[in-house]
């Protein structure tokens, strides 16, 4: 049988660890202090603070009160997020015939302004059955705290067949400010 510790020398060569020359209590104290420092180092170097400067975002990013006079209910709230997603909401009771979900979708900046699409689901208020999937494409221009543009809505049944549209609407909006 080999003497204790001789396997290390045969398999990996002599140890170069600074802990080898320390007593057991001192080695334990060193490891206790080293652990939090290592965690702090890794967490601060692995994380990157994202810029939150408003100038880094597209001018459409934010929350907007938008009117669409041609819609069953003309007042809508839009929230454009910096990651390219958008949410639209209006009162469910705004349309006496159907109930619609919040619309969710995507947007992107193009050379002419902002374009995107939101999708909503509608249900019959009486039977609570699916009516349609509405896809509303839009094109916008932002001018400071105002936006304007157009939208085209097309509605599809459960099998994906068009049942209504295209329905055109104009959009005018004001940014929600603190």
Specify the CATH number of the domain 54-175: 2.40.128
First to last CA, the chain: 79
Q: Which of 29-38, 59-68, 132-141, 165-174 has the lowest mean pLDDT?
A: 29-38
State the pTM of this model: 0.67
Tally the C-alpha atoms within 13 A of residue 6's C-alpha that lie toward its C-beta. 4
Q: CB of 85 within 8 A of CB of 104?
A: yes
Distant-in-sequence contacts of 158-161, Cβ < 8 A, 24+ apart: 158/130
Domain ranges (residues) in the chain: 6-46, 54-175
Can you read off the two tokens belonging to residue 133?
Answer: 């999937």
Q: Which of 37-46, 76-85, 131-140 has the lowest mean pLDDT?
A: 37-46
Confidence class of residue 109 from pLDDT cuts 50, 70 and 90?
Answer: very high
């Amino acid at each position: 049988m080999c003497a204790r510790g001789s396997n290390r020398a045969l398999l990996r060569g002599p140890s170069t660890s600074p802990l080898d020359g320390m007593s057991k209590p001192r080695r334990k104290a060193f490891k206790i202090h080293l652990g939090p420092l290592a965690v702090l180092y890794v967490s601060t170097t692995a994380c990157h603070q994202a810029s939150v400067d408003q100038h880094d975002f597209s001018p459409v990013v934010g929350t907007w009160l938008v009117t669409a006079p041609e819609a069953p209910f003309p007042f809508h709230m839009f929230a454009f997020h910096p990651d390219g997603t958008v949410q639209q909401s209006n009162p469910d009771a705004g349309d006496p015939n159907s109930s619609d979900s919040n619309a969710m979708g995507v947007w992107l900046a193009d050379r002419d302004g902002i374009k995107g699409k939101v999708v909503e689901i509608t249900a019959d208020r009486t039977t609570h059955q699916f009516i349609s999937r509405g896809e509303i494409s839009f094109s916008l221009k932002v001018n400071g705290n105002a936006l304007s543009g157009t939208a085209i809505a097309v509605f599809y049944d459960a099998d994906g067949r068009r049942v209504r549209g295209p329905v055109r609407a104009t959009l005018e909006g004001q940014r929600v400010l603190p």
